Amino acid sequence: MKLALASLLAYTASAFGPSTAPPSAHARKPLISGNWKLNPQTKEEALTLARGIASAITDSTPDVDVALFVPYVFIESTMSVVGGKLSVGAEGVCPHSNGAYTGGISTSMIKSIGVDWVLAGHSERREIFGETDYYINAQCLKILDEGMSVMLCIGESLAEFEADLAGSVCATQLKKGLKGVRKEDLDRVAIAYEPVWAIGTGKVATPEIAQSVHAKCRDILAGMYDRETANMIRILYGGSVTPDSIDDLMAMPDIDGALVGGASLDINKFGRIVNFNKAGSLAPAN
Ligand code: PEP
């Protein structure tokens, strides 16, 4: 997939209007999360990776929540080696409670093994597995009903990005994905803005582009609920995040964390991402 640098550079924050960055009174605790997808290939590798990531979280790590979304079969063993330093979540869930859904995993199943975070709406689930906004909404509602937290992924394709449709695509996905979600449950909701053109491509959005979409998403949430509620919801950026990009992304006022795919499979890279420098890459290291 070829993404013209010129189109990235031409895409300015002005496309989305002024930032709605909240005042510091609305400080949101950062959340850095990893998505292992269909990796690693063995339990031994998974545990080595999990142990390494946990050991990168030290007393000098910023005040941050860390979550790893891992394949179902590794959830319990991963939990057992991370010493409570991070949450171990599921990469998805079947929105049905029980019955004839071969291969499905229900919310009560994963809740019963201690899971508290579940991913929904990842672009790979939308594109490869055909999950619709309607299905994703059913997942979100079921996850919240079960008392767990959901990270709802949204984001536009390359064609939509180039047509200046990022804001409207995110608005649609937010409104459909969160349909029927009660305001009082939103403290268990995080949004991951993941432009599809940035996932797994090495083409990370610039901090300015990501910030402008995040601000727009916060405006949309304010319209759906209210400004105070919108200011409390964590909006993460996802798409080719690496140690080289995390600091400047986290320096943006509406970027509250990251959802990291490829780099979450590397202890050194994910360890550095967790230990980001909120002041940006030009500031002295922590
Ligand atoms: C992801 O899978 O959500 C993701 C952002 O992947 P990557 O970091 O590899 O682009």
User: Is 254 close to ligand 1, i.e. is its CB under 6 Å away?
Assistant: no
Chain length of the chain: 286
> Which residue shows structure tokens 């998974």?
46
Question: How many CA atoms does the CB half-sphere of 134 hold within 13 Å?
Answer: 1
Q: Is 34 in the pocket of ligand 1 (CB under 6 A)?
A: no
Residue of 203, 241, 242, 255 with the most ligand 1 atoms within 8 Å of its CB, for mutation: 241
In tens digits, what is the pLDDT along the chain, a chain of 286 residues? 333 333 333 333 333 333 344 444 458 999 999 999 999 999 999 999 999 999 999 999 999 999 999 999 999 999 999 999 999 999 999 999 999 999 999 999 999 999 999 999 999 999 999 999 999 999 999 999 999 999 999 999 999 999 999 999 999 999 999 999 999 999 999 999 999 999 999 999 999 999 999 999 999 999 999 999 999 999 999 999 999 999 999 999 999 999 999 999 999 999 999 999 988 887 655 4
DSSP assignment of 158-184: HHHHHTT-HHHHHHHHHHHHTTT--GG
Active site residue 96: no
Alpha carbon of 82 to ligand 1 centroid (Å):
22
240 lines ligand 1 (CB under 6 A): yes
Question: Which of 70, 245, 259, 265, when mutated, tests ligand 1's pocket best, judged by the most ligand atoms within 8 Å of its CB?
Answer: 259
List, in order, residues 6 or more apart from 258 with CB less than 8 Å away. Answer: 32, 33, 236, 237, 238, 241, 246, 249, 250, 273
Among residues 124, 156, 160, 194, which one is catalytic? Answer: 194
Ligand 1 pocket member 241 (CB < 6 A) = yes
pTM here is: 0.91
